A and B are shown apart, each in its own frame.
Chain A
Amino acid sequence: MQPSPLANPLAAVAQLETSGSRLDGIPQDLEDSVRYAGARLTQAAGVLLRLPQEVIAQAIIVFMRFWVGAEGGSLAEFGAGQVSASSLCLVTKLSAYPKSARSLVNVYAYLDAFPLPPMHTEPKEGKAEMYYVSEGTYERRRASLFETEQRILKTLGFQVQANLPYTLCITYMQALDVFTHPRVSELAKRAIAHLNTALLSPQLLYLTHQPPSLAIAAIYLAAREAGIKLPEAEWWEVFDTDREELGFLCVGFLSTEGFAEQEKERWAGRRVPLTVEEVNAEIKRRNEESDA
């Protein structure tokens, strides 16, 4: 059957069972941490590049797709920071907001100057030389930007497009007739916030569920949190999502916060390894720790 342009390609079960990184002996929890940090890095870079959230979300989806499955990219071969930059480069090219290689290289150099990526604070004043990119460095980084871009395209079989749930989310709220409610903007903001959070989920929700289901789960949770009543009936079925999927997604959405807290604690004061060298060093450190 011809795939529908309305639906996104989803990860196959076999692809979710393993990953290129795990086959290379990288622990799963480390991979989860790096993927989460890489997605946040993509989000931060997208904001600095003044890209619309739709473009950033697509870049994060491409970034997440890249690592999945036995044939996916491995952290032993690709740095997450590099893949993040190349995903963003690739997605902006297809969007109405192309960004030059120079802008991308500059933004990623700037973000790298933060003491602890993903960043929590401003870099220190007067440290502009920390993120200055010389002409030679720029040439090298541009070359690897494009090289990794090619590898992403080939790994994904050129499936770099993704339909997003943002507009669906608004449409569904209109269909549910909640826009007459006085606190509807709170509801809409919370729903969109849930959708953005889900991009970072270690459960890869955007790779396993179609946009309508994501939009519904976001509205459902937002309505509960904002205390806004939705129809008593099983309204999600109108938008072609069954109760089981909705339940699963709600749990997934809500667990992302806990995961984020846990990550913050785990990496307190340390850099999440976003290059191949840093990943190797982290594994070495872990091995020494367990030997000791």
Chain B
Amino acid sequence: MASRWADDEADKAEALRRKQDKEEKKRLKLQKQQQAGEAARAAKEASERPAKRRRLSNSEDATTEDTARTPKDPEKERKLLRFEGGRWAPCHHRSNFETLNHIEEGSYGWVSRAKDIATSQVVALKKVKMDYNQDGFPITALREIAILQKARHPNIVDLKEVVSGDTTEECVLVMEFLEHDLKTLQEDMHDPFVASEVKTLLRQLAGGVAFLHDNYIMHRDLKTSNILLNNRGQLKLADFGMARYIPPPSAPLTQLVVTLWYRAPELLLGTPNYGTEVDMWSMGCVMGELLLKTPVLPGTNEVDQLSRIFSLCGLPEEKSWPGFWRLPNAPSLKLPRGQRNKQSFDRTRFPFLSGAGVELLSSLLSLNPDDRPTAKAVLEHDYFREQPKPKPSEMFPTFPSKAGQEKRRKQSPHAPKRGDAPGLGKVDFSSIFSAQEEGEKGAGFMLKMA
């Protein structure tokens, strides 16, 4: 018996029939297209004539109405793009929500978990602190609300509404509730996230930040405790208390932004104008923290912070960072000179990171802000394409939620308070590498894992 798959007469006949079928269909289609084209042309011709008379003018030709005009105009069919802008209505009252438990005290408000009584939906409530009433409604809260209203993105926490309390002063932001923040979560985990999980998290983080920067928003306080994660592996940026729109070039920016451990070197050196690059530095710090399960640059003060930065990322030089010495706080630094300058990123701290990973991390942690990649460039980075691939969000492990049950411990320093940025004073960094250099002399080789 011939094979089931052998070519025989019947098959040939069938093939021929199919070919004819196809040709017939093609012919019909062509015919249809021609007909449609003719109809469209006819419609256009028909519509062009009345269009002239339908001008919005009270000149003479418009007053002589065309009585023969057909009531059903084909042009009315044209679809116009409409965007729904919503409505406004007074704030609801806080009593529509039942508080379940307190979560934490953020940089400018108290956060608690609550339930919408009408829908039983669990939400996060953030009560605005009205501490300094010198300037009326706190500008930070106003900015956070304004920015969250505009920034609708899967990786940015959703502001549902703003509700008022019993006093005129009280004001509460109602946001979607996410089970974890990355800081508390990492504190409770035994092992750091595996490489594929770090990629999933980092890609979502870069996605959210890219959206913000595309919309001229700087977050200015990216850190693990402001990055939320739900039990479906979705990451969302939160706490926009420091965020603002990129102002016109003439308007001044405050230097006192970003929590110390995540603060970019140009801010520490007192630059008067900075941009979205400060968020990219913070993203680098977060990436390092996800890999190590511990903050990468936990400085105790501004000076210690700079010294930690220089020992991880190398020393700034006029060549690698033009204009560095002209920054306000730079002249007071005494950097080790003359010696073999430590230029490169200290990759020994990230022994398990691949070459592409180190490349990404070190570029995010470039001292010169101009050398840092944009959030969009991060999304395109090879690091996300090489093995292991980012773990799909649905496959992300789940963890017990601290926010759902108990008060959190708070160890990282707070975002800076409003006020003048302190200068650094005279600082001597000449000896930051001395200990390491001794070590290098002793051991002749070092094991590198890449």
Known: A154-B164, A237-B78. A65 touches B84 (CB 8 A): no
User: Could you tell me the distance between the alpha carbons of A3 and B152 in the complex, rounded to whole angstroms?
Assistant: 9
Say yes or no: is B136 at the interface (Cβ < 8 Å to chain A). yes
CB neighbours of A145 from chain B (8 A): 136
Is A1 in contact with B84, judged by CB distance below 8 angstroms? yes
Known: A10-B87, A154-B91. A232 touches B52 (CB 8 A): yes
Known: A97-B251, A146-B133, A232-B51. A9 touches B169 (CB 8 A): no
Q: Which of A6, A71, A90, A155 touches B83 (beta carbons < 8 Å)?
A: A6
**How many of chain A's residues touch chain B, expressed as a range?**
35 or more
Say yes or no: is A279 at the interface (Cβ < 8 Å to chain B). no
Name B250's closest neighbour in chain A (CB-CB). Answer: A96
Is B149 in contact with A161, judged by CB distance below 8 angstroms? yes
Say yes or no: is A150 at the interface (Cβ < 8 Å to chain B). yes
Count A-B pairs with CB separation below 8 Å.
Answer: 113
Shortest beta-carbon distance, A178 to chain B, in Å? Answer: 17
Name B57's closest neighbour in chain A (CB-CB). Answer: A224
User: Could you tell me the distance between the alpha carbons of A234 and B76 in the complex, rounded to whole angstroms?
Assistant: 11
Say yes or no: is A4 at the interface (Cβ < 8 Å to chain B). yes
Q: Write out, one digit per residue, whether chain B residues 118-141 have a CB within 8 A of any chain A CB (1) or not (0).
A: 000000000000000101110100
CB neighbours of A233 from chain B (8 A): 51
Taking each of B83, B143, B245, which has the highest tally of chain A beta carbons within 10 Å of its own beta carbon?
Answer: B83
Say yes or no: is B423 at the interface (Cβ < 8 Å to chain A). no
CB neighbours of B150 from chain A (8 A): 5, 161
CB neighbours of B75 from chain A (8 A): 234
User: Could you tell me the distance between the alpha carbons of A12 and B292 in the complex, rounded to whole angstroms?
Assistant: 53
Known: A161-B146, A237-B80, A250-B56. A150 touches B137 (CB 8 A): yes
Known: A9-B88, A233-B51. A98 touches B80 (CB 8 A): no
User: Could you tell me the distance between the alpha carbons of A92 and B251 in the complex, rounded to whole angstroms?
Assistant: 13
Interface residues of A in 197-237 (CB under 8 A from B): 210, 220, 224, 232-234, 237
Q: Which of B91, B146, B152 touches A160 (beta carbons < 8 Å)?
A: B146
CB neighbours of B51 from chain A (8 A): 232-234
Say yes or no: is B441 at the interface (Cβ < 8 Å to chain A). no
Say yes or no: is A157 at the interface (Cβ < 8 Å to chain B). yes
Shortest beta-carbon distance, B182 to chain A, in Å? Answer: 26
User: Could you tell me the distance between the alpha carbons of A115 and B70 in the complex, rounded to whole angstroms?
Assistant: 58
CB neighbours of B81 from chain A (8 A): 240
Name B173's closest neighbour in chain A (CB-CB). Answer: A158
CB neighbours of B146 from chain A (8 A): 94, 160-161
Say yes or no: is B195 at the interface (Cβ < 8 Å to chain A). no
Say yes or no: is A93 at the interface (Cβ < 8 Å to chain B). yes
Shortest beta-carbon distance, A212 to chain B, in Å? Answer: 9
User: Could you tell me the distance between the alpha carbons of A3 and B150 in the complex, rounded to whole angstroms?
Assistant: 9
Binds B, one of A26-34, A35-43, A185-193, A241-249: A241-249
Shortest beta-carbon distance, A138 to chain B, in Å? Answer: 13
For the complex, count residues of B whose C-beta is within 8 A of A.
Answer: 42
User: Could you tell me the distance between the alpha carbons of A233 and B56 in the complex, rounded to whole angstroms?
Assistant: 12
Known: A101-B136, A234-B51. A157 touches B78 (CB 8 A): no
Name A245's closest neighbour in chain B (CB-CB). Answer: B80
Taking each of B56, B80, B136, B245, which has the highest tally of chain A beta carbons within 10 Å of its own beta carbon?
Answer: B136
CB neighbours of A246 from chain B (8 A): 56
Say yes or no: is A133 at the interface (Cβ < 8 Å to chain B). no
Interface residues of B in 345-366 (CB under 8 A from A): none
CB neighbours of A15 from chain B (8 A): 87
Say yes or no: is B397 at the interface (Cβ < 8 Å to chain A). no
CB neighbours of A4 from chain B (8 A): 83-85
Say yes or no: is A287 at the interface (Cβ < 8 Å to chain B). no
Q: Write out, one digit per residue, whether chain A residues 140-164 have a CB within 8 A of any chain B CB (1) or not (0).
A: 0000011101110111111111000
Q: Which of B78, B87, B152 touches A5 (beta carbons < 8 Å)?
A: B152
Q: Which of B78, B85, B142, B164 touches A8 (beta carbons < 8 Å)?
A: B85
Is A241 in contact with B80, judged by CB distance below 8 angstroms? yes
Shortest beta-carbon distance, B300 to chain A, in Å? Answer: 33
Is B145 in contact with A3, judged by CB distance below 8 angstroms? no
**12 A-B contact pairs sorted by A residue (CB < 8 Å):** A2-B152, A7-B85, A93-B139, A94-B143, A94-B146, A147-B168, A157-B88, A161-B150, A232-B52, A240-B82, A243-B56, A247-B56
A: residues with CB less than 8 A from B are: 1-12, 15, 65, 71, 89-90, 93-94, 96-98, 101, 145-147, 149-151, 153-161, 210, 220, 224, 232-234, 237, 240-243, 246-247, 250
